Structures are given as C-alpha cells and as structure tokens.
Amino acid sequence: MIYTDPLFLGVTPTGARTYLADKLVSLEKPFFNACAGRFSVVEVAIKAGLPPENIYASDLGLFSSIIGFLADPAKKMDDLGIRILDAVLEPKGITDELDFAAHVMLILKLNQMKQTNLRGFYLREELLSSWSRCRQTMREQLETLVQNIAGIHHEIADIWDVVPRVSQEDVTFYASVPH
C-alpha cells in the first residue's frame, strides 16, 4: 500500500496500554472504554486476559463505529446506514461486511488526503488507481483487529453520555481521549 499519514491518530502509548491492561485484568470488573478510537487499549486488555464480553467500548466517529460494529456480535454493518453517494467510489466486488468496511475505510483515507499540493494530488490518484489492492490490504488489517477484539460490546456514544451512566457502577473506566 502507498505510504501516507496514519488513518487514525491519537493512540495511547504502548507502555501506558500495557500498564493499563495489567491493572484492568487484576481488577476483574467490567471495563468501559469511552473514545475507543482504534481499539488499541481494548486489544491489549484482551491479550492480557480480560474477557471480551466484559468490555464495553464506545465512540462517535465512523472509523471507530465500523470497527466496533464488526467486533460486536449483536451489531451489523447495515445498521450504520452507510451510503456512498459518489458514483466513482461506488463499491464493486464486495463479498461481505469486511470488504464493505475496508472500502469505507479507504474512502475515509481518501477524504483525508490534501489536494492543495501535487504530492496530495498524486497520492490520491495512486490510491484510486490501486484501489482493489489497497482494499484487500485494509481488509486484512481490519480482519486481524476484529478477530483480536471479537465479542466486545460497542455503542455509538459520546463520553459525556457514558460517564454519568456508569459512574455509580462498580466498573473500571478509561477514556482514550484524542490528543
């Protein structure tokens, strides 16, 4: 895949994720991760031994919602109501939810690319001309992540709606707030 800036910024640093995961496992309580982002904290918590069914992730963005809906067995991608209005970007050859999710993620990436200079213009053109290959790569990356966090609970929710709802419960809470 062509090298561009990361699709998602604002990830909790590795050392902090590892420390947090160890604490989450030792507390043995339901874990609420608001502003889940790209689910890096959720992924490391599961790898450390926290059962996915005890994890409740939330976020507002389409990027995170796609990942969350793929990982939550109670959710379906169709429930997000995603429509692609640009005929050029109309999905072709989509075989399943992961293909569609990868397609939408690439559209998000395409829309992040600046067209104010030649570099941005050429990067966009290169992505468009290698769409199938890039979509397959994105699909593989999504599939790995979703397999690692499968079974979590996910909702589209703002942190300010989650905090008051769980503040009186005996749970652990972490906000992966963008920085």
The per-residue pLDDT for range 6-61, each reduced to its tens digit, is 444 456 777 888 898 899 989 999 999 999 999 999 999 999 999 999 999 999 99
Q: What confidence score (pLDDT) does residue 8 get? A: 46
The per-residue pLDDT for range 123-156, each reduced to its tens digit, is 889 999 999 999 999 999 999 999 999 999 999 9
d(CA 96, CA 108) in angstroms, rounded, equals 19
Q: What confidence score (pLDDT) does residue 32 get? A: 96
Tell me the domain boundaries of the chain: 30-175
Residue 1 has pLDDT above 70, yes or no: no
Q: What confidence score (pLDDT) does residue 103 get? A: 97
Q: What confidence score (pLDDT) does residue 179 get? A: 57
